Chains A and B, each alone.
Chain A
Amino acid sequence: MNRRRRPAAAGAVLGCLLLAACGSGKSILEAGNEPRPTAAPVTTLPGQTTVPGQTTVPTAPPTTEPRPIDSLPPCDMAALDEAAADGPVEILFWHGMSNELGRELERIVDQFNASQDRVEVSLEFQGGYEQTIDKYLQSDTDNRPDLVQMPEYTVQLMVDTQSNVPVQACMEDAGYDASRILPTALDAYATESIQWAMPFNVSNPVLYYNKKVFRDAGLDPEAPPLTLEQLGEYGRTIQATGAASYGVAFDSAPDGGGGWFLEQWLAKEGEFYSDNANGRSAPSTRVLFDGPTGVELLTGLQDILTTGGGVYVGENPSGTDAFLKLADASTPASMTISTSAALGSVLQFVEGGIIPGIGVEDLGVGPMPSPSGAPGTLIGGASLWITEGRGDAEAAASFEFISYLVSPEIQSEWAAATGYVPVNAGAVELDPLRAVYTGDPRFRVAYDQVAQTPDVPTSNGPVLGPLREVRVTAASAMAQIMNGAEPQAALTDAATLANALIADYNARRG
């Protein structure tokens, strides 16, 4: 051992020297000689002046010109008729739906393949949304699928790959009637007045809670908390009565409590997440979550942790930690906020009897609590994108399959099995979803949140090229705040980095 220690020690010294001497304190995004907007609050780069405490942003044009649909790859539905005459057109569909969701999707695809002989879909699970994005970006046209499912935060990224046939082209060519597709869901995937993709699975965050704990604590199990203040009060009551160890369990996952929820909360409060109307009137240049509303929100969340019976479960990398906290044998929590898409599997989880004494009927679902208790939500989930350059027949076949997936019948089955919100209004009037919605109002909560969303610009989520990376920075701030950091300072740091991400992205794209 001692024979190895010397060089290791030398290495340690060397490493420390390097760290101390070499650190520039600047973000990696600033590396290189091309002038970039600074990430550090007080730095001056050539050609730019900065004011201390304020992040510099390049000025952007105030509005974006609508893009003419003719300037984009066309869609020829007739090509499918021709090709299908010689046998079914095979298309490849990449998706990121795991487990129960994946199995349900598989069932629907099999059903589609069996129902007609024009199109044959083969399904490839990529391991999750993130892997789907990575593999799509890394692949060339030959290795891309004909159709891909992409989460809501990739709109701008996908548009910038310039690798898609916008579904609008197919809708126009096919004379598709989109009047029954939820307008807010369509809007989420439309920018520059182009409908790029078709929403397929729509979800939003809801409150999951343990009704038995509510009853034990003397709270009305049918009246879940709507505001953050109530969330804290409920938690205090639950703790005071000893009904459970904790009130709400928070996580700080980028695609959960740390990133996605922040976008949702700001929208609920009628605030933009980024400038230029969430990037929808012109490309966003900076985020706005470090403003007063964001600070107030995070301060409220922090208060719930300190005095409102809340518990922080970390970054939730597996996506299950917050739920498992509800089932914790020694120190359980009694509420958590998570995606409505988990409802199907959470019910199965509870049904198996994993929480002693709790049955499926004891699981409550309520709207996502927010500072003001305002209803409404942003469209979460994912949409379907047609790849360009794979052949006219394939593009048309993809659209035919898309039309099937968003038909009232299939959306009814899909939403009833999973907890997703149907994107087709007709689905609610059809069984099995009609039966589920009347029989089990818990499935309806996410749908109602969409239905109650006010028709204002802030109800359309942010379109930022690096939205996933921005979420990571927000999640990091959230984690710090959950651990007691001062909200304003943490959010300002995160916003600075987020602005650098946006600027860097725009520079690389340009």
Chain B
Amino acid sequence: MATSTMPRGWRLAGRYTLLIVLTIVVLFPIWVMLVGALKPGNKVLQDPLLPTHVTFDTLREAWRDGNLGRALVNSTIVALIVTVAQVVTAVLSAYAFAFLRFPGRTFVFGVFLATLLVPFEATVVVNRSTVQDLGWLNSYQGLAVPFLATAFGTFLVRQVFLTLPKDLREAARMDGLGHLGFLREVAVPLARPTLGALALFGFLSTWNQYLWPTTISTDDDWNTVQSGLRALAQAQIDKPNLVIAGTVIVALPIFVILLVFQRQLVRGLTAGAVKG
């Protein structure tokens, strides 16, 4: 943003000092974690702030013991499935609510909104038995299906659709575009920033799922990274830093995604917060 202030030197210095201090505070746990992950287990108590005795053995062991390779693959697949599905289902249902007229529209929309308020934690027990009855324990279906649609996404995309000028739809109709054509050619492209945000949000929240994957897998081949970490966190007296090495492995891919998609994430996450 353009500001016409001529920043005074001391002010600027103060701001930078503060920023640097806060940077240190925010990064401190990450630094300790990195240092811990790069040490052999028996040197953890020595120089906890300095990367002495650097070794990749602990990372390698965490990778092996936590079956993290497989867990990363599982998490990626599940998160991608869920992300794509959430965007598609949200676009479809949002379109219905924004552009179609049908009896009971308000009521159905109300039902959608109501599901937004149901904490997933309140449904886990029943969902587990549903997934078990479907024979989906230890499967990608089991991990993904409960999350394929969200009222949050529907709500978000509907907001965007509602801001599209009415004459757009009229003009499209004149050009002979049906609903699906309009959706594909006009509505979706215009909603792209929001959809990007929704996708990232969906990806992150699926990646970060903790309770559900620990509940429905009975085979560590179906661990996600979070449930894999939990298994790694078991009593580990001779290698207190093994689990820390695991957290580094798990956090790294997301950190890279964040670096690459930072702009989209920033732009996207606002879609829910800022009107228009």
A contacts B directly in the complex (CB < 8 Å)? yes
Separation of A324 and B237 alpha carbons in the complex (Å):
8
Is A352 a contact partner of B41 (Cβ separation < 8 A)?
yes
What residue in chain B is nearest A135 (Cβ atoms)?
B218
Q: Give the one of B42, B44, B219, B235 with max A CB within 10 A.
A: B235
Is B234 a contact partner of A349 (Cβ separation < 8 A)?
no
Cβ of A352: which chain B residues have Cβ within 8 Å of it? 40-42, 238
Is A140 a contact partner of B132 (Cβ separation < 8 A)?
yes
Report B98 CB to chain A, min CB distance, Å: 29
Separation of A503 and B219 alpha carbons in the complex (Å):
35
Query: Given the interface contacts A143-B218, A342-B237, does A127 sit within 8 Å of B42 by beta carbon?
Result: no
Is B42 a contact partner of A99 (Cβ separation < 8 A)?
no
**Cβ 8 A contact of B237, one of A124, A125, A138, A320:** A320
Report A442 CB to chain B, min CB distance, Å: 16
Is B218 a contact partner of A320 (Cβ separation < 8 A)?
no
Is B238 a contact partner of A124 (Cβ separation < 8 A)?
no
Query: Given the interface contacts A100-B238, A324-B240, A345-B238, does A125 sit within 8 Å of B44 by beta carbon?
Result: no
Cβ of B234: which chain A residues have Cβ within 8 Å of it? 98-99, 127-128, 318-319
Cβ of A318: which chain B residues have Cβ within 8 Å of it? 233-236
Report A330 CB to chain B, min CB distance, Å: 10
A64 within 8 A of B: no
**Cβ 8 A contact of A143, one of B45, B137, B238, B240:** B137
Cβ of A142: which chain B residues have Cβ within 8 Å of it? 135
A94 within 8 A of B: yes
Separation of A138 and B238 alpha carbons in the complex (Å):
33
Is A354 a contact partner of B214 (Cβ separation < 8 A)?
no
Is A127 a contact partner of B235 (Cβ separation < 8 A)?
no
A329 within 8 A of B: yes
Is A327 a contact partner of B235 (Cβ separation < 8 A)?
no
Separation of A299 and B90 alpha carbons in the complex (Å):
62
Separation of A346 and B235 alpha carbons in the complex (Å):
11
**Cβ 8 A contact of A99, one of B45, B219, B236:** B236
**Cβ 8 A contact of B218, one of A94, A329, A353:** A94
Cβ of A319: which chain B residues have Cβ within 8 Å of it? 234-235, 237
Is A354 a contact partner of B137 (Cβ separation < 8 A)?
no
Cβ of A346: which chain B residues have Cβ within 8 Å of it? 237-238
List CB contacts (< 8 Å) of A337-364 with chain B: 342, 345-346, 348-349, 351-354
Q: Give the one of B227, B237, B238 with max A CB within 10 A.
A: B237
Q: What is the total of A-B residue contacts with beta carbons within 8 Å? A: 75
Cβ of B40: which chain A residues have Cβ within 8 Å of it? 352
Is A320 a contact partner of B236 (Cβ separation < 8 A)?
yes
B230 within 8 A of A: yes
What residue in chain B is nearest A347 (Cβ atoms)?
B238
The contact string, 1 if C-beta is below 8 Å from chain A, for chain B 197-238, is 000000000000000001000111000000100110111111
Is B231 a contact partner of A98 (Cβ separation < 8 A)?
yes
Is A354 a contact partner of B42 (Cβ separation < 8 A)?
yes
The contact string, 1 if C-beta is below 8 Å from chain B, for chain A 123-149, is 011111001000100111011010000
Report B121 CB to chain A, min CB distance, Å: 15
Separation of A4 and B128 alpha carbons in the complex (Å):
37
Number of interface residues of B (CB under 8 A): 27
Cβ of B45: which chain A residues have Cβ within 8 Å of it? 327, 329, 354
Report A341 CB to chain B, min CB distance, Å: 10
Separation of A329 and B46 alpha carbons in the complex (Å):
8
Is A98 a contact partner of B235 (Cβ separation < 8 A)?
yes
What residue in chain A is nearest B220 (Cβ atoms)?
A125
Cβ of B230: which chain A residues have Cβ within 8 Å of it? 127
A261 within 8 A of B: no
Number of interface residues of A (CB under 8 A): 33
Separation of A126 and B223 alpha carbons in the complex (Å):
10
Cβ of A126: which chain B residues have Cβ within 8 Å of it? 218
Is A124 a contact partner of B220 (Cβ separation < 8 A)?
yes
Report A498 CB to chain B, min CB distance, Å: 25
Cβ of A354: which chain B residues have Cβ within 8 Å of it? 41-45
Separation of A351 and B42 alpha carbons in the complex (Å):
8
A265 within 8 A of B: no
A447 within 8 A of B: no
The contact string, 1 if C-beta is below 8 Å from chain A, for chain B 18-62, is 000000000000000000000011111110000000000000000
A200 within 8 A of B: no
A260 within 8 A of B: no
Is A127 a contact partner of B231 (Cβ separation < 8 A)?
yes
Q: Give the one of A127, A318, A323 with max B CB within 10 A.
A: A127
Separation of A443 and B235 alpha carbons in the complex (Å):
20
The contact string, 1 if C-beta is below 8 Å from chain A, for chain B 99-135, is 0000000000000000000000000000011001001
What residue in chain A is nearest B125 (Cβ atoms)?
A138
Is B218 a contact partner of A99 (Cβ separation < 8 A)?
no
**Cβ 8 A contact of A323, one of B44, B231, B237:** B237
**Cβ 8 A contact of B65, one of A99, A145, A351:** A99
Cβ of A125: which chain B residues have Cβ within 8 Å of it? 220, 231
Is A99 a contact partner of B235 (Cβ separation < 8 A)?
yes
Is B219 a contact partner of A124 (Cβ separation < 8 A)?
yes
Cβ of B65: which chain A residues have Cβ within 8 Å of it? 99
The contact string, 1 if C-beta is below 8 Å from chain A, for chain B 60-81, is 0000010000000000000000
Cβ of B42: which chain A residues have Cβ within 8 Å of it? 349, 351-354
Q: Give the one of A139, A318, A320, A354 with max B CB within 10 A.
A: A354
**Cβ 8 A contact of A124, one of B44, B46, B218, B233:** B218
Cβ of A329: which chain B residues have Cβ within 8 Å of it? 45-46
Separation of A342 and B135 alpha carbons in the complex (Å):
38
Q: Give the one of B41, B214, B240 with max A CB within 10 A.
A: B240
Report B219 CB to chain A, min CB distance, Å: 5
Is B237 a contact partner of A349 (Cβ separation < 8 A)?
yes
List CB contacts (< 8 Å) of A155-190 with chain B: none
Separation of A131 and B217 alpha carbons in the complex (Å):
11
Cβ of B214: which chain A residues have Cβ within 8 Å of it? 127, 131
What residue in chain B is nearest A322 (Cβ atoms)?
B237
Instruction: List 6 additional contacts besides A99-B65, A127-B227, A318-B236; criterion CB under 8 Å.
Output: A98-B234, A127-B234, A319-B237, A320-B235, A349-B41, A349-B237
22 A-B interface contacts by CB (under 8 A): A98-B231, A98-B235, A98-B236, A99-B236, A124-B218, A124-B220, A125-B220, A127-B234, A135-B218, A138-B129, A139-B137, A145-B218, A318-B236, A319-B234, A319-B237, A320-B237, A329-B45, A346-B237, A346-B238, A351-B42, A352-B41, A353-B42
Measured CB to CB, the residues of A under 8 A from B are 94, 98-100, 124-128, 131, 135, 138-140, 142-143, 145, 318-320, 323-324, 327, 329, 342, 345-346, 348-349, 351-354
List the 10 closest pairs (A to B, CB-CB), nearest first.
A352-B42, A319-B235, A98-B234, A349-B238, A348-B238, A354-B42, A345-B238, A320-B237, A127-B231, A349-B237
